[in-house]
Structure 1
Amino acid sequence: MKKKGIGLKVTPRNKKCSDKKCPFHGNVGVRKNTFTGLITSDKMARTVTVAWVRRAYLPKYERYEKRRSRLKAHNPECINAKKGDVVMIAETRPLSKTKNFVVVEVLGKETKKEALKEEAIQEQETKGVGEAGEAEKKKTTPEKNR
């Protein structure tokens, strides 16, 4: 018997589910469009809201602005993604009035960007203390070439 694949390079789920809308165990095929985003809500039954930030160019101001895209996606029993997970969603046929996507893989937890930025700043400060101290010494010493 041939193993069922969904047409995407994702790790198949070994956990069985009886969900008809599951791309691995049900009757739903997936299409080419895939997105990666963060689950912002999982309060609905078998549905999650996935959001991601993108940059849009504003020609008038010659700058970029942040915009947020949000989609509702089906969350099969075998995947069972939670709020705060980073997931990959794939386009399917319409599953309900607002759902045209299904979660195909959990990529991990949300990384705290602020914490990472703070760590990077602290590392730069610790590296820069020695360099800044030497620079101050150079400024205070009188120049003899004048």
Structure 2
Amino acid sequence: MVEVIVKELPERPRPGEKVQLPNGEFIRVRHVGIPWLLPPKKVCNDPECPWHGYLSVRGHVFTVTVESVHGRTATVIHEWLHYDPKYKRYEKRRKKIHVKVPSCIEVRPGDIVYIGETRPLAKTIRHVIIGKSEDVTEAKSQVLRLEQSQ
């Protein structure tokens, strides 16, 4: 088991930059493949971190609300609207998902976060938190406008 070291930076690093930790180790900030999400201000050497480790994010990306946090795992609630054709109306649906919390991202119950699908990390954990709602850049609104115009 690797001892996880976390370092707070004065400003956000850009993907591709190398940052030196207090123990002398260099960590490269990766790009997770979501153009409107910025990396966190903290840097860690956690191997299961999508920004600083080797964990790839693939599949679906959800916006969810954190319900509870237990160490490096959390329980989140994903809510969505489902159309019922029989009654010709929408109904609310919700699902609890267990996620891994990287060491460089601090979350509390009630936070709105973005989670991404990954390989299975434990028996019930198949998602990882990749950012908070404050980590969004202005590019997201431009992307949404392009998708609506097509």
**Structure having the larger proportion of residues in helix:** 1
- State yes or no: 1:41 paired with 2:68: yes
Alignment root-mean-square deviation, CA = 1.6
One-letter amino acid of the counterpart of residue 116, structure 2:
A
Q: Quick one: distance in 1 between partners of 2:51 and 2:83?
A: 38
Match for residue 52 of structure 2? 25
Structure 2 unaligned spans of 5+: 1-15, 18-29, 135-150
Instruction: Give deviations 1:13-68, integer Å, cap 9, x for gaps.
Output: 231223221111111111141000110111x2211112132122233333322111
One-letter amino acid of the counterpart of residue 18, structure 1:
N
Taking structure 2 as the reference length, what is the TM-score of the superposition?
Answer: 0.64
Cα distance, 1:88 vs structure 2? 0.5
Aligned length: 106
Q: Quick one: distance in 1 between partners of 2:57 and 2:78?
A: 20
Secondary structure at the counterpart of residue 56 of structure 1? strand
Q: Quick one: distance in 2 between partners of 1:8 and 1:29?
A: 12
One-letter amino acid of the counterpart of residue 94, structure 1:
P
Secondary structure at the counterpart of residue 82 of structure 1? coil
- State yes or no: 1:15 paired with 2:73: no
After TM superposition, the structure 1 = structure 2 runs for residues 86-97 of structure 1, keeping only pairs within 5 Å, are: 86-97=112-123
Match for residue 97 of structure 2? 71
